[in-house]
Amino acid sequence: MFTGLVQAVGTVEKLELLENKSKRFWIRPSWKETDLKLGESIAVSGCCLSLVEEKGPLLGFDLGQETLDVTRFKSTRENEKVNLERSLRLGDRLGGHFVTGHVDTVCALQSVEDSDGSWVLWWKMSDSAARNLLVEKGSICIDGISLTVNEISGGSFSVCIIPITWQETNLSYFGVGDHAHLEFDLLAKHVAKLVSK
């Protein structure tokens, strides 16, 4: 379980194709964490992955076919920036919202608008059937970042990004057309499941 509060931005240094057709990502984080343990869960751009190996400062994560099928990682390139967050510990403050690290779908950046020192980002969802999981002023997790839905229009929605979020996450590296991971609010998914019965 995570909060969507990014702790570091990492750089994908190497992509390794494994024998079973899965991939291993080698990521150089910007943090100086020293108590990492093999097998622990880390949200990599909002996708919960297990740390499988450390080589000096580089962290290794294996991605199976299912993960590659449902995330944007199938087209990830070297030098790409990713958001990193370690899992919650008992007693931690919950500053964002509950994030599972299970990617629901991807969204594409449509536009970036400067708004008096902040930025309004419009995103287009690839899964139009999931529109009912979006609520204005409700929580959303984009590429591992806990954000608030600003406005909804058809299959698109906007979020407002304040300067500290712009500076401390990978959003400033995104260009129009780039894809991000999307995880809907856990409560919204449970309610939708209940009312659909």
pLDDT digits 0-9 by tens, 144-159: 999 999 999 988 999 9
Q: Please answer whether residues 180 and 141 qualify as being in contact, where contact means their C-beta atoms are separated by less than 8 angstroms.
A: no
pLDDT of residue 126: 75
Q: Please answer whether residues 144 and 99 qualify as being in contact, where contact means their C-beta atoms are separated by less than 8 angstroms.
A: yes
Q: Which residues on neighbouring strands pair with residue 90, listed in sequence order?
A: none
Tens-place pLDDT, residues 170-190: 999 999 999 999 999 877 766
Asked if the model's pLDDT at residue 133 lies above 90, the reply is: no
DSSP assignment string, 147-164:
EEEEEEETTEEEEEE-HH
Tens-place pLDDT, residues 18-57: 887 789 999 999 998 889 999 999 999 999 999 999 999 9
Q: How far apart are CA 70 and CA 76, in angstroms?
A: 13
Q: How far apart are CA 132 and CA 134, in angstroms?
A: 5
Q: How far apart are CA 89 and CA 33, in angstroms?
A: 15
CATH 2.40.30.20 domain residues, the chain: 8-86, 105-195
pLDDT of residue 197: 67
Chain-centre distance for alpha carbon 103: 8
Tens-place pLDDT, residues 87-128: 988 777 777 788 999 999 999 999 999 988 899 999 998 776
* Residue in 147, 137, 132, 154 with CA at minimum distance from that of residue 181: 147
Instruction: Supply the CATH classification number for the domain 105-195.
Output: 2.40.30.20
Q: What is the CATH architecture assignment of 8-86?
A: Beta Barrel (2.40)
